Structure 1
Amino acid sequence: MKQLELRLEARPRGFHLVTDEIVRALPLKAVPAGLLHLQLLHTSASLTLNENCDPTVRGDFSTFFDRLVPDGTPYFRHDYEGDDDMPAHIKSSLLGTSLMLPVSRGRLALGQWQGIYLGEHRDQGGSRRILATLTQ
């Protein structure tokens, strides 16, 4: 088993394809068959697996979640860090902060059109950390 902490650069609010960045940071080639667990170490961002080809999908995700849980909702009391504070926590809980992915022949065994998204739900989220645990 190998465990690493990855740091993703700060990104603007939205959904960002981070598959290549994660793969480059991990020793996947040494794993003939195994599992990769990714745990995002934050409560205002998320990880999800979805369409990796058409960037309009990521924009549609943003539009949907921003309408589902809008900033500045008057009945939210947790707003210590701004109008996007509580909405970011809810989006993080809806989408989740972890992924369990298969590794086969030294590569992530994803579908042809699947990619790992970082959902950044804050206007000023900053860099994000992911704990990656690779087992074989």
Structure 2
Amino acid sequence: MIWDQHEIRLAPRARGFHLITDEITRQLPALAELDVGLLHLQLLHTSASLTLNENADPDVRHDLDAFLRDLVPGDLPYFRHTIEGPDDMPAHVAASLLGTQLTLAIRDGRLALGTWQGLYLGEHRDHGGSRRLVATLNGRQG
């Protein structure tokens, strides 16, 4: 059994949903050594999110972002936390709805994802900056 942990830094991205599957797996060489295990990803921010969704059609990314912007607009009059800008509190709400962590199965040295599944960073701020996450691997070496 092995345990392995890395902090991964993601470059700043525009508001929206960004496919990060390859970027994450490239930074985890120990993943290839595991025949069975788990990868836990914890985003170290409260105004962005992680989610697993379809990776084939880019319209999915657009539609997720459009839905969240409609569900949590930036001009709600009852928001009090506005000192960091009009996009900050809606970003916290979106991150709470989607979550900031994922646990994924590992099989035969790869993430055990469905045919059309990919990992997404949901950037909910207009200028969120770089994002960090902790990736923890646990599993049995092949």
Q: TM-score range by the shorter chain?
A: over 0.9
SS in 2 for 1:65: helix
Distance in 1 (alpha carbons) for counterparts of 2:68 and 2:99: 13
Residue 73 of structure 1 deviates from its aligned partner by 1.2
Q: Could you tell me which of 50, 53, 59 is aligned with 1:50?
A: 53
Q: Kindly provide the amino acid, as one letter, of the partner of residue 15 in structure 1.
A: F
Residue 72 of structure 1 deviates from its aligned partner by 2.0
Q: Could you tell me which of 107, 120, 123 is aligned with 1:120?
A: 123
Q: Kindly provide the amino acid, as one letter, of the partner of residue 68 in structure 1.
A: L
Deviations 1:32-58 (A, max 9, x none): 110000000000000000000000000
**TM-score of the two chains, using structure 1 as the length reference:** 0.99
**TM-score of the two chains, using structure 2 as the length reference:** 0.95
SS in 1 for 2:77: coil
Deviations 1:89-118 (A, max 9, x none): 000000000000001110000000000000
Structure 1 residue runs of 4 or more that deviate by more than 3 Å after TM superposition: none
Distance in 2 (alpha carbons) for counterparts of 1:43 and 1:72: 19
Q: Kindly provide the amino acid, as one letter, of the partner of residue 2 in structure 1.
A: D
What number of residue pairs does the alignment pair up? 136
Aligned positions of 1:23-62 closer than 5 A: 23-27=25-29, 28-62=31-65
* Residue equivalent to 2:22: 20
| Aligned-residue CA RMSD (Å) | 0.5
Where structure 1 has 5 or more consecutive residues not aligned to the other structure, the ranges are none
SS in 2 for 1:37: strand
Distance in 1 (alpha carbons) for counterparts of 2:68 and 2:45: 18
* Residue equivalent to 1:82: 85
SS in 1 for 2:85: coil
Percent identity, aligned pairs only, is: 66
Distance in 1 (alpha carbons) for counterparts of 2:25 and 2:40: 12
Q: Could you tell me which of 92, 96, 99 is aligned with 1:96?
A: 99
Distance in 2 (alpha carbons) for counterparts of 1:9 and 1:94: 23
